[in-house]
Structure 1
Amino acid sequence: MFTGIIEHVVSVKKLLPKAGGGELFLDVNGFYEDLKLGESMAINGVCLTVKEIEGQIISFDVSGETLRRTTLGTLGHAEKVNAERALKVGDRLGGHFVSGHVDGIGTIKEKKQSADQCILSFSTGKIFTDMMIEKGSVAIDGISLTIVGVTDSFFSVALIPYTLASTTLGFRKTGDLVNVEIDMMGKWIKKLLINTREKKVNITQGQLMEQGFL
């Protein structure tokens, strides 16, 4: 489990193909001196397990499914990625609960820069936007962000200067692909509504409140 608060931007050393998947090597530049084998880390929002540590180079096995469903399969030498270690019990939760299980890939549709913020719009399928609401949360490349607008085919977020300077979104451009993870609350509510509709059971606002969804 993660929070979507990026700790560091690190560099890709290489991505080696393997039978059924690949092996990703990152240069963490001394940021994680106490890292241990078997730890979970979110790399561009994808939960991976630390396999080897050699100095400041760490590596992860990446399944074929992960390479297909996320942008990790397109990573190249020296490319920058967002890194976050797993949440510890008792840590401050500055973002929102992020599982590291990416739902799919979105495309940067538009980037509007102003003096105090940047509005980024992402094209994605209705299957994603159906689970989004304005002021709700979404994780983009592992970054916890607040949705400021949503339609059937795209959604937008507002980025403050700190986020632009501290994550990879600062140098992303129109047409770039990103990993998208929908807020877990949205997925559970959609599943609940589908189940009740299939069973032809009416669901009320009171029932949603009773279950903690509102």
Structure 2
Amino acid sequence: MFTGIVEELGEVTAVETLDDACRFRLRGPVVTDGAKHGDSIAVNGVCLTVVEHEGDEFTADVMAETLHRSSLGALTVGSRVNLERPTAVGARLGGHIVQGHVDGTGEIVARTPSEHWEIVEISLPAHLSRYVVEKGSITVDGISLTVVEAGTDRFTVSLIPTTLALTTLGRKQPGDPVNLEVDVVAKYVERLLAAGRADQAGQAGQGAAR
């Protein structure tokens, strides 16, 4: 589990295309400190497994399904990426519960700079819009952010200077893709409510049959 608090801005140092996957080598001195084979590291919000670790670099394999559902397929040598290690048990939950399981991708629509922050508008896939609410949480490229305004096909977030300086969102421009993960609590609530309604309908049907 992650919290969406990016630890460092890493860099892609090599990309190897395989038959049905891709192997990335990434540099990140902070997240590789103490890393070992099998550890998890979130890369732009996608939970990846460390295959090899040497110095301040690690490699991770990304299967075709992940490349299809996320923006990782657009990474090239030199691309900057947000990196975060899993949350340690007992640590502070600085952002919100983030699984590293991307629900879909959006695009930067517009950027509106201000004196002390910047408003960024991001497109929202139709199947995710019901999970996004004003003042709710959403993960964008692995960053835990608060939704300012939520529409049917887009939403906005307000970025402070620290976020602009230390994450990929300070560099991305209109048209650039971003990974989106909605609040998992909202998805569980939706499923539980649907199951409850189905049970009630079933019980009502049995009562009518009697």
Sort the Cα spacing of 1:189 and 1:94 in 2 relative to 1 into closer, same or farther, 3 A: same
State the TM-score, normalizing by the size of structure 1. 0.89
Match of 1:85 in 2: 85
Give the Å deviation of 1:197. 4.2
State the TM-score, normalizing by the size of structure 2. 0.91
Alignment of 1:47-196 (within 5 A): 47-196=47-196
Match of 1:4 in 2: 4
Say whether the 8 Å CA contact 2:135–2:148 is kept in structure 1.
yes
Counterpart amino acid of residue 192 in structure 1: L
The 2-side partners of 1:30 and 1:122 are apart by 29
Give the Å deviation of 1:30. 6.2
Counterpart amino acid of residue 186 in structure 1: A
- Structure 1 runs of 4+ aligned residues shifted over 6 Å read none
RMSD of aligned residue pairs (Cα, Å)? 1.4
The 2-side partners of 1:139 and 1:30 are apart by 21
Say whether the 8 Å CA contact 1:139–1:181 is kept in structure 2.
yes
Say whether the 8 Å CA contact 1:22–1:63 is kept in structure 2.
yes
CA deviation string 1:75-113 (max 9, x = no partner): 011110000001110111100010000001001111111
Say whether the 8 Å CA contact 1:22–1:62 is kept in structure 2.
yes
Counterpart amino acid of residue 58 in structure 1: F
Equivalent residue of 2:131, what SS?
Answer: coil
The 2-side partners of 1:153 and 1:193 are apart by 24
Sort the Cα spacing of 1:31 and 1:199 in 2 relative to 1 into closer, same or farther, 3 A: closer
Identity of aligned residues (%): 43
Sort the Cα spacing of 1:109 and 1:185 in 2 relative to 1 into closer, same or farther, 3 A: same
Long gaps (5+) in structure 1: 202-214
Greater displacement, 108-117 / 95-104: 108-117
Give the Å deviation of 1:120. 0.9
Counterpart amino acid of residue 22 in structure 1: C
Give the Å deviation of 1:27. 1.7
Q: How many residues align?
A: 201
The 1-side partners of 2:52 and 2:192 are apart by 41
The 1-side partners of 2:187 and 2:30 are apart by 37
Sort the Cα spacing of 1:30 and 1:147 in 2 relative to 1 into closer, same or farther, 3 A: closer
Give the Å deviation of 1:57. 2.1
Give the Å deviation of 1:37. 1.5
Equivalent residue of 2:181, what SS?
Answer: strand
The 2-side partners of 1:191 and 1:156 are apart by 26
Match of 2:33 in 1: 33
Equivalent residue of 1:67, what SS?
Answer: helix
Greater displacement, 180-189 / 95-104: 180-189
